[in-house]
């Protein structure tokens, strides 16, 4: 039989020995308990409060259970795709709620609605990767190409160089920069 066990790391234990279904039942009970802990944490509960409410032996055990549950949720790409679709649907719903004000020039809150609509559209584009920078191909010239270029320069000829009006760099998490052309 499943029961609360504040001495057990997960807060749930089973006193049925050898039952094939007990492992599955324990996993489901622990998952429900961790989901409840996640909801409490989202509601700004402290780890000590979560441990007390959910029956974990300590605040650290509650934190580990929440972290493990979040990792399990994010491991499968299907879950990520589902979460992305859900977030996209929420953004769509919010955008629909401000759209009428944003496109009505006579509405007194039009400018605020336009700003909110633009923000929601930007979040939607980011969520689905629509705002990814343009790809730039950087070539490594051969020695022969460099020698030809140097010969042209020393002969007084100016080689054709393609330049862009604006280069925009975005710092990546690893400290490198991704550069895209904006002109």
- Per-residue pLDDT band at 149 (split at 50, 70, 90): confident
Q: DSSP letter string over 103-142?
A: T-TT-TTHHHHHHHHHHHHHHHHHHTTTTPPPP-------
Q: How far apart are CA 147 and CA 154, in angstroms?
A: 10
Assess whether pLDDT exceeds 60 at residue 78. yes
What would the pLDDT profile of 86-134 be if each residue is shown by its tens digit?
A: 889 989 999 999 999 999 999 999 999 999 999 999 999 998 888 777 7
- Per-residue pLDDT band at 42 (split at 50, 70, 90): confident
State the pLDDT at residue 24. 77
Express as a percent the part of the chain with pLDDT over 90: 33
Give 13's strand partners: 3
What would the pLDDT profile of 156-175 be if each residue is shown by its tens digit?
A: 777 666 665 555 666 677 76
Assess whether pLDDT exceeds 80 at residue 28. yes
Q: DSSP letter string over 167-183?
A: EEEEE-TTS-EEEEE--
Question: Using alpha carbons only, what angle is made at residue 8 by residues 7 and 9, rounded to the nearest 5 degrees?
Answer: 115
Assess whether pLDDT exceeds 60 at residue 65. yes
Q: What is the pTM of this model?
A: 0.37
């Amino acid at each position: 039989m499943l029961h609360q066990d504040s001495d057990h790391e997960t807060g749930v234990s089973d006193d049925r020995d050898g039952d094939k279904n007990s492992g599955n039942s324990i996993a489901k009970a622990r998952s429900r308990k961790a989901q409840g802990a996640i909801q409490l944490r989202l509601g700004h509960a402290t780890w000590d409060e979560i441990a007390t409410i959910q029956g974990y032996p300590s605040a650290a055990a509650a934190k580990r259970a929440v972290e493990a549950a979040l990792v399990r949720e994010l491991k499968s790409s299907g879950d990520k795709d589902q979460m992305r679709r859900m977030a996209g649907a929420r953004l769509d719903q919010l955008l629909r709620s401000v759209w009428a004000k944003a496109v009505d020039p006579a509405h007194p809150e039009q400018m605020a609605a336009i700003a909110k609509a633009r923000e929601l559209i930007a979040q939607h584009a980011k969520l689905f990767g629509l705002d990814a920078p343009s790809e730039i191909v950087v070539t490594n010239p051969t020695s022969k190409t460099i020698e030809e270029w140097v010969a042209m320069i020393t002969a007084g000829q100016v080689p054709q160089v393609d330049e862009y009006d604006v280069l925009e760099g975005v710092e990546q998490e690893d400290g490198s920069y991704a550069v895209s052309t904006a002109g």
